[in-house]
Amino acid sequence: MSHSSQSATDAAHGIPGRPSVEAPALDEPTEPRGPLPPKTDQSGPATVTPTGQDSGTAAERVAQGGPYLTTAQGNRLYDTDHSLKAGPRGPILLQDHHLREKITHFDHERIPERVVHARGAAAHGYFKGYGTAGNITKAAFLAKDVTTPVFVRFSTVLGSRGSADTVRDTRGFATKFYTSEGTFDLVGNNIPVFFIQDAIKFPDIIHAGKPHPDREIPQAQSAHDTFWDFVSLHTEATHHTLWNMSDRGIPRSYRMMEGFGIHTFRLVNDRDETTLVKFHWKPKLGIHSQVWEEAQLAGGVDPDFHRRDLADAIEAGAYPQWELGVQIFPDTEEQMFEGIDLLDSTNIVPEELAPVHPIGLLTLNANPSNYFAETEQVAFHPGHLVPGIDITDDPLLAGRLFSYLDTQISRLGGPNFAQLPINRTHAPVNDMLRDGMHQTAVHQGVAPYRPNSLDGGCPFLAGAAEGAYIEVPVEVPAGRKVRQAPETFADHFSQPRRFWLSMSAVEREHIIAAYTFELGKCYEQAIKERNLLSLARIDPELCRRVAAGLGLPAPQSPDDLPAVSASPALSQLGKTWPLDGRVIGIVTDGADPAALDGVRAVRHTLLTSGLLPLVIAPAGGTLGSGEDALTVQRTFATARSVEFDAILLAGVPAPGADAFPARDAKAGDTTAPGDPDPRVVLLVSEAYRHGKAIGAWGGADPVLDAAGIPAAAPGVVRTGDPAAVWDDIARLLGRHRVWERFEVSVSDG
Ligand code: HDD
């Protein structure tokens, strides 16, 4: 706002004594417009339930209505840039309520971050039941043709709110189903097993995984002494840790991870018959990972890599989808299946023994528009259940049922967090919970107790016929009070061995490299040695290779390694997958009009196939002219290989051309005019090293040569025709990476 127009406004408002200092005009609006419509995030989740009831107050959720800036009390403000002073150079007056309100509110803008899973990204969507689970559960949201709104938050576990997305860690996958019968939260992870069997150890494993208490390093890493100390001393953590060291610990995208409920749940149908199940989320795009160097680079180049990927894909209409499935087990007294204890959350049941039955489809189709109000304030709880879904006696789950309610009280400042828009159930609420910090409801009536005679006896209790949540009256095993685990919890190595045996050779190489890196970061020799003892109990070759990398002798594996068979479903390789939302970098120097025609054509094909092409050129701006002009989306300075799933070189750089315009000759620059731009060479050599498909047409050989890529390298397509290049690249991309490029010396799985 220019000061001259400000003075005019001041004069109109009759504000005396404002200095009129000439300042450059900024093109900000100076006249208030009419009231803006509420932003979508300001209405919170739907206020009308699927059954037509009003679940709350739409109006009071709306902030920032009307054209004028106000205080929190609704007083219109004429200035928010200057404190109230005794003269322009005088002291600030304590009576300036607006100053105090503005700064006080700011001082309290941060709330405590989650003690675990602090770093997260979320999306809105909907879930549609297939109706195939009707035989085993009466949960209404799983019925055919029922659409239930959902909010899903993905997260890392160890890092703080500002940590990088692509660290090696487990990922949280928490889903809030706003069902007509109340909220159901499925608070799972992308790894189907957990570190510990009993919740009482949760503070211990998290203390061990979090940064060291003295210097508070390392951030968001498991590669340090306390973590590996814990793991080696609590061998029940071996299985989860092995998954973390596999490619599952560094997903390519939240959209490309599985999700698991982990615990065994008990379902009940309308005939009161019970079944035990494990929940699985299967991503439509397949399960894909980064490679370790790529994950590390992305952590620096783009710490928001997964957050951005999710938001961009949804914004572009490439809505991620997962199928919800259940593995089904009979609800027997011992709660075992094929010798596997279903109450031990360090176990999976291989899909070959118990197939996953699809029961519904999740689609994420809307980004949150207020990170704090939605992603930060959402409060999940495994105890948020609906009729038809009940718990088992898994000792890990029992502790969680306490912890999640408790943690929200300190994190969200009191017991009324269920009233926050994102946490509001879509079913009508009629509770007798009263008062407390941040109470926003205005409860009516005088008798918040039951039974009463003053409020007409209301509210009434429901029975099964009215949809009450009634716990399944299962027998509780009798026994002595003990602090003890069952004997069936004692086998900590046959499941990790199964996982190892199920991996392909390249996945095994990645696991070996991960252990070698992480243990190599430990300082204490005894910790490395103890972990090698665990690896020896998984597999001799794994142990020998990691020991060699650490420069330590490999302990002998026991003769009686568990006799388990592989579960092919655990490997991420060997299938082909849809390409929706994949990011393709198209590099061009813009010099050759024919090459630009190729860029246009391929770009069009990619866009119409649901992929995201990004044009990379020496400098920003546009390439070509007129209607066909191409916008440059990344420059040689801003592009880095980690952003792309494949690279296309469209005549870059034209052979014999001078150095690119964006590349200034610098002192010590060893490249000659006509040499490919080193930034493009880096882009291509990294993409090659990370197993990404590379396509080239129109004279890109100098770049490929400079990147050290052999003429017959696998997954590098060089022809004259852009359309043919893309066809081949698309085929390669369906397998996610050019696996043949990875050096493998471990035996095959
Ligand atoms: Fe937990 C958050 C998943 C065991 C205590 N947990 C949290 C979140 C996820 C999980 C995805 C983030 C939710 C969000 O996005 O807001 N946690 C798991 C899984 C577990 C598990 C899959 C084992 C199968 N958790 C676990 C135990 C305890 C906790 C055993 C405590 C005894 N978890 C918490 C917590 C958190 C949490 C402290 C932190 C923030 C929150 O709850 O809301 O209560």
**ipTM attached to this prediction:** 0.99
Residue 1, pLDDT score: 34
| C-beta 256 within 6 A of ligand 1 | no
**For 686, left (φ over 0), alpha (ψ -120 to 50), or beta?**
alpha
**CATH value of 120-423 in 3.10.450.50, 2.40.180.10, 3.30.1360.70, 3.20.20.80:** 2.40.180.10
Q: Where in the chain is the domain with CATH 2.40.180.10?
A: 120-423
Q: Where in the chain is the domain with CATH 1.20.1370.20?
A: 494-570
| C-beta 642 within 6 A of ligand 1 | no
Q: Which of 403, 408, 422 to mutate to test the pocket of ligand 1 (most atoms within 8 A of CB)?
A: 403
Is 400 annotated to bind ligand?
Answer: yes
Dist. CA 189 → ligand 1 center (Å): 9
Residue 594, pLDDT score: 79
Residue 16, pLDDT score: 53
344 phi and psi angles, rounded to 5 deg: -100, 110
What pTM did the predictor assign? 0.91
Residue 30, pLDDT score: 59
- CA 402 to ligand 1: nearest atom: 32
Find residue 361's DSSP bridge partners: 128, 323
CATH 1.20.1370.20 for domain 494-570, yes or no, is yes
Q: Which of 111, 114, 377 to mutate to test the pocket of ligand 1 (most atoms within 8 A of CB)?
A: 114
Q: Where in the chain is the domain with CATH 3.40.50.880?
A: 583-733
| C-beta 153 within 6 A of ligand 1 | yes
Residue 12, pLDDT score: 45
Residues 6+ apart with CB under 8 A from 698: 592, 594, 595, 598, 650, 651, 720
Residue 9, pLDDT score: 44
Residue 68, pLDDT score: 87
For residues 259 and 171, the answer to whether their CB atoms sit within 8 Å is no
Residue 31, pLDDT score: 61
Residue 132, pLDDT score: 97
Find residue 717's DSSP bridge partners: 695
- CA 122 to ligand 1: nearest atom: 15
With tokens 């190892």, the residue in question is 500
> Dihedral (C-alpha) 406, 410, 415, 421: value to the nearest 10 degrees?
-110
The DSSP symbol for 81 reads S
Is 153 annotated to bind ligand?
Answer: yes
Element holding 499 (H helix, E strand): helix 494-502
Q: Which residues of the chain have pLDDT under 50?
A: 1-12, 21, 23-25, 35-46, 49-50, 55-57, 59-61, 655-656, 658-663
- CA 116 to ligand 1: nearest atom: 39
Shortest-distance Cα residue to atom 15 of ligand 1: 153
Residue 661, pLDDT score: 39
- Please, what CATH class does the domain formed by 583-733 belong to? alpha beta
Integer Cα distance of 377 and 417 in angstroms: 8
Q: Which of 404, 405, 411 to mutate to test the pocket of ligand 1 (most atoms within 8 A of CB)?
A: 404
Integer Cα distance of 592 and 387 in angstroms: 65
Is 404 annotated to bind ligand?
Answer: yes
| C-beta 439 within 6 A of ligand 1 | no
Residue 44, pLDDT score: 43
Q: Give me the active site residues, please.
A: 117, 189
Is 202 annotated to bind ligand?
Answer: yes
Integer Cα distance of 424 and 183 in angstroms: 8
Dist. CA 116 → ligand 1 center (Å): 7
Strands, E assignment, 599-658: 612-617, 622-623, 630-631, 634-635, 646-650
Residue 477, pLDDT score: 83
Dist. CA 404 → ligand 1 center (Å): 7
- CA 399 to ligand 1: nearest atom: 32
